[in-house]
Amino acid sequence: MDNIVNARKIYVVGHKNPDTDSICSAIAYARLKSKLTGEIYTPRRAGQLNEETQYVLERFKVKAPKLLSDLRVQIKDVELRKIQGVDGSVSIRTAWARMKELNIKTLPVTREGKLEGLITIGDIATSYMDVYDSSILSASRTQYRNIASTIGGKVVVGNDHSFMPKGKVAIAASGRELMADFIEENDLLILGNRPNVQQDALDLNVSCIVVCQGAEISDEIIAQARRKEIVIIRTPHDTFTVARLINQSIPVNCFMTKEGLITFGMKDYVDDVKAVMATKKFRDFPVLDGNKSFLGFISRRRLLNSRRKQVILVDHNEKSQAVDGVEEADVLEIIDHHRLSSIQTIGPVFFRNQPVGCTATIIYQMYQEEEIEIDSVTASLLCSAIISDTLMFRSPTCTPIDEAAARKLAEIGNINIEELALEMFNAGSNLKGKSAEEIIFLDFKQFTVNETVIGVGQVNSMNTSELREIKAMVLPHMEEARKKNSLDMIFFMLTDIVTESTRLLCCGPEALSKVIMAYDLNEDTEDIILRGVVSRKKQLVPTLVGALQQ
């Protein structure tokens, strides 16, 4: 029986080092797509949430999206062959019949869903060829019900769940005198239809007698066996057939492989799994969940049919800002308000890019275009995103469309924009307990200009003294952060929302000279204050890119 374990999901995700716009837009757009299509669209985050975004989600009682750190194909994106496991006590013959029925070569042995081992066709063949010890049934604690089932018989008297405590398997092919020489107490004796031999077996206190060819068993024999707690099994087969079949009643846990099993989890990446498989000779590999429960088998052939993750990107179209492995994903849509950049897709996609101040503004327009009513919570998230990205309409990236959208959304969400903005910005600039490196990369975007890789971080605050404290903390650690993250230059914006200005910190070879050239500053400038510059997207990055390209 084949089964797909997980339902197909389509992820909606923003950029790394997510801000309020990327998170709120992902949540709102996933809700819109789900309403329009009835399919499963689920928002994700590509990194740690900043303080401002956490405040917004907590204020409007919205659960933070789960982390999506890699878009490479995982085992959960592959169709597994799901097989019901067998208990370790079932007979080898039962296991073989199950394999034949399902046309498989490996069978999982489980207990309460947990994988205990694997039994293969090869293991069963080995059991047939290597079992010569006549005491194997007692050593393996084979239950009498297994024996009866394997030889096509029935337990006439005795506990069919019990097993031979010790002893061997023997055939009664001689008289009483010789029997007494080789039959011992607790043995299992295979015999024919002679009543006197049945009596002799009881007198010798064997643990079990197997009566062949459906022979009659007298009431007296049955009564004696019950008193002595001796099991009697009757089978229609002859002694030769019973002797040939009986070792097939041994439980699979005696021959299954239980040490050194190669297993995979649902979150393992297919590339890594292929590398392991290439070094192993096995055909099927077990897949387990987080509780070590068996889910199904995966094989090399099934990996060829793995499905790429489907994803919608919001608030970015630059590969360096996207979730790792995006080049292996099936990008369905891109909704953005930044410059066109380096994302490459497998096929044509729906790409909507507008010169507005916030992705949330575009999402709001799409709700209107589709005539889908926006609930209060979604409206509050979208409004918060616009406030954040436009610095409450102060940023030069802000358009009349953004402000009109925010004010309409504020009405739906019953929000006071000025009050919300103050609380958001205060939350965002509250960096107590964070290290210098955490602050640098809190709201950070990476760009590649020709072969130069730069990173631009930003902190917005309405408190000038707080920005001075952040500068003192961050500046000594910028060069170490640059080298650690293999960046050519780092630029860090300390943006004062009230004065609408930015103090710019920079490090890396030629970083300071490029800023001086870009903004036509005095060559001896060290403390860089950019009046009227508050937008990374519109005022800083394009200017720096122009300087770097010269």
User: What are the residue ranges spanned by the domains of the chain?
Assistant: 10-73+309-428, 132-249, 436-549
Helix 417-428 vs helix 51-59: crossing angle, to nearest 10: 140
CA distance 539 to 497: 15
| Assigned token pair, 279 | 């070094």
Task: Report whether 144 contacts 162 (CB < 8 A).
Answer: yes
| 338 vs 370: which has the higher pLDDT | 370
pLDDT range class, residue 360, cuts 50, 70, 90: very high
pLDDT at 154 over 90: yes
Task: Report whether 84 contacts 297 (CB < 8 A).
Answer: no
| Assigned token pair, 62 | 């919205």
No. of helices (H) and no. of strands (E), the chain? 21, 21
Section 244-257 average pLDDT: 85
| 16 vs 128: which has the higher pLDDT | 16
List residues bridging with 211 in a β-sheet: 191, 234
Q: Which tens digit of pLDDT belongs to each residue from 274-295?
A: 888 888 888 889 999 988 899 9
pLDDT at 58 over 60: yes
Least confident of 124-128, 301-305, 539-543: 124-128
Task: Report whether 328 contacts 307 (CB < 8 A).
Answer: no
Could you say which of 2.40.50.140, 3.60.40.10, 3.20.20.370, 3.10.310.20 is the CATH number of the domain covering 436-549?
3.10.310.20
Give the distance between the most distant pair of CA atoms in the chain. 119
Map tokens 């793995």 to a residue.
306
Could you say which of 3.90.1640.10, 3.40.50.720, 3.40.50.2000, 3.90.76.10 is the CATH number of the domain covering 10-73+309-428?
3.90.1640.10
pLDDT of residue 492: 96
pLDDT of residue 526: 82
pLDDT of residue 163: 82
CA distances from 303 to 40, 272, 367, 433 (A): 24, 11, 39, 45
Task: Report whether 26 contacts 45 (CB < 8 A).
Answer: yes
CA distance 179 to 303: 60
pLDDT of residue 251: 86
Q: Among candidates 24, 26, 20, 28, which has minimal Cα distance to 52?
A: 20
- 3 state DSSP class of 39: coil
Q: Which of 1-10, 74-83, 301-310 has the highest mean pLDDT?
A: 74-83
Section 253-279 average pLDDT: 89
- 3 state DSSP class of 147: helix
Section 454-482 average pLDDT: 91
pLDDT of residue 3: 39
pLDDT of residue 462: 83
Q: Among candidates 304, 283, 306, which has minimal Cα distance to 99?
A: 283
Section 428-442 average pLDDT: 84
Please, what is the Cα angle at 31 between 72 and 4, to 5 degrees?
45
Pairing of the two strands 169-171 and 154-157: unpaired
* CATH code of the domain occupying 132-249: 3.40.1390.20
pLDDT at 1 over 70: no
pLDDT at 331 over 80: yes
Section 483-505 average pLDDT: 93
Q: b vs e for 339-376, b when ≥16 Cβ sit within 10 Å of the residue's Cβ?
A: eeeebebeeeeeeeeeebbbbbbbbbebbeeeeeebee
- 3 state DSSP class of 11: strand
User: Looking at beta carbons, which pairs linking 121-130 to residues 24 or more positions away fall under 8 Å?
Assistant: 121/96, 123/255, 123/256, 123/257, 124/92, 124/95, 124/96, 124/255, 126/255, 127/92, 127/247, 127/248, 127/250, 127/254, 127/255, 128/247, 128/248
Structure letter (DSSP) for residue 91 = B
Task: Report whether 453 contacts 487 (CB < 8 A).
Answer: yes
| Assigned token pair, 132 | 């010569």
**Average pLDDT, rounded, for the chain:** 89
One-letter identity of residue 24:
C
pLDDT at 130 over 70: no
Section 178-193 average pLDDT: 81
Task: Report whether 464 contacts 498 (CB < 8 A).
Answer: yes
Section 449-471 average pLDDT: 90
Nearest 10 degrees: Cα torsion 274, 275, 278, 279: -140
Structure letter (DSSP) for residue 537 = I
Task: Give the DSSP H or E segment for 108.
Answer: strand 106-111
Section 67-93 average pLDDT: 89
Task: Report whether 489 contacts 516 (CB < 8 A).
Answer: no
CA distance 109 to 115: 6
Section 37-62 average pLDDT: 95
Share of the chain above pLDDT 70, in %: 96
Task: Report whether 281 contacts 301 (CB < 8 A).
Answer: no
Task: Express the helix, strand and coil content of the chain in percent, nearest 5 each.
Answer: 40, 20, 40
Q: Among candidates 35, 47, 43, which has minimal Cα distance to 62?
A: 43
pLDDT of residue 129: 65
pLDDT of residue 42: 97
Section 510-529 average pLDDT: 90
Q: Which tens digit of pLDDT belongs to each residue from 408-431?
A: 999 999 999 999 999 998 888 777
Section 76-99 average pLDDT: 88
Neighbours of 531 (CB within 10 A): 8
pLDDT of residue 132: 54
pLDDT of residue 176: 64
